[in-house]
Every structure is written in C-alpha cells, then in structure tokens.
Amino acid sequence: MKTVVFDLDGTLADTSGDLIAAANACFRDMGEGDLLDPALDAGTALRGGRAMLRLGMERLGRADDDPLIDEYYQALLYHYARDIDTHTRLYDGAMAAVEELKARGFIVAICTNKPEALARELLTRLGIVDDFAAMLGADSLPVRKPDPEHLLETVRRAGGDPAQCVLVGDSDTDRNTSRAAGVPSVLVTFGPSGDDMSALAPEALLQRYSDLPDVVERLLGKA
C-alpha cells in the first residue's frame, strides 16, 4: 500500500518553543541565563538538543566543549520531557490532511529524529498517537535519518510498500533521506526553515496542509 510518512518537529507540529525552553533551563543551571531566543533560534531547535546546546556554548565562546554539551544533554531531555507540550502546537490543518489521506486509502506514519519515548509522549499528549499506523524515533533502529533505512522500515512497520511512499518534512535531513531512499519528498514552507526549502529541490513544496492530499496523489497516484 502507498504510504505518507511525516516528520514530526517542524512538520506536523511546531515544537520549537518547548525545545528552546528546555535548552535555556540548562543554561540557567550553568549560571548563564537564557542564551537562546524562541523566535530567532527556532530553526536550530528543530535540529535537536545538542544543536541547541552547541549554539548556546558558541555564544559563550565555548563551542568545542563537547564534554559539557554531553553532560547537559541528559538534563535537557529531563527538562523537555517535563514540559513537552507547554508551547507546542500542531500546524493548522495538519490532522485534517492526515484524516483525508486515510480516507483516500493512504497509510500514514511518522519517522522522526526525536527519541522514540519523547515522540510517543508528545503524540499522546496531543491526542494523536493512535492516528498513525507506525512511529519510529531516533533510537528505534541502529540508524536514523538521513539513513534511508529509517524511513523504509517505518513504511514496512506501517504495512506499506517502501517503493511507494512519500516523505513530508521540513529540512535538508528529510530531503536527503528521501533522495537516498529513491522516493519523493514534500517539504513544508511554513516551518522555521521554510524560506530555504525551495533550494533543496524537493518534488513538491507545501504552503498549506489542505493541499497535501492532492499533492500526494500527484506524486504517488491514487491509493
């Protein structure tokens, strides 16, 4: 069966506010105060915890302090898990598009580089964990995006055909994953990195979720 696989952070939901808050909690623990800005640094937030910690350390002139970054990464996960859905919101129309895709016969799944337990907790709190046939996180397999096996195994576990899938994402990681897997990608333009998406030359750009079912049918054909 044909499958639509979604990235989570920056694609289905804007999680940047809670990620930034968790990183800033770590910097306060260091005695440095809030080093990241929720608006200006949203793009870095969606690249993961270590990316945020490294950016803050750069601003302290300590970008190469890997031991300290590793030490505080676990603290960041603790802070994030505690307040994982305080600021997070689903993008407008995201779940309506998911339901329309399912109504048209497509399987839907999630492939994210967020740790699986955190991703499952967030989806549970958002009330959408049961809306997807499968969800694989960064630690679900020995590999993760942009390794294509992360995407392809997500499709298999969802019950789909890996040769007939599309990846909906918001980053060069997602684009590189789809290219390595030999499948099309749709990149959203409404996330923090939206202005840069056209340069990645995906098979389609998505400005609003209401267009996604038709875009998927254009790329994969009807389910």
Q: Give catalytic residue positions.
A: 7
Cα–Cα distance measured from residue 19 to residue 151, given in angstroms and rounded to the nearest whole number: 24
Cα–Cα distance measured from residue 158 to residue 141, given in angstroms and rounded to the nearest whole number: 15
Residue keyed to tokens 């080093």: 35
Neighbours of 142 (CB within 10 A): 8
* The residue type at 1: M
- Does residue 109 contact residue 5 with C-beta atoms inside 8 Å? yes
Neighbours of 198 (CB within 10 A): 11
User: CB within 8 A of 158, min separation 6: which ones?
Assistant: 3, 5, 107, 108, 109, 132, 133, 134
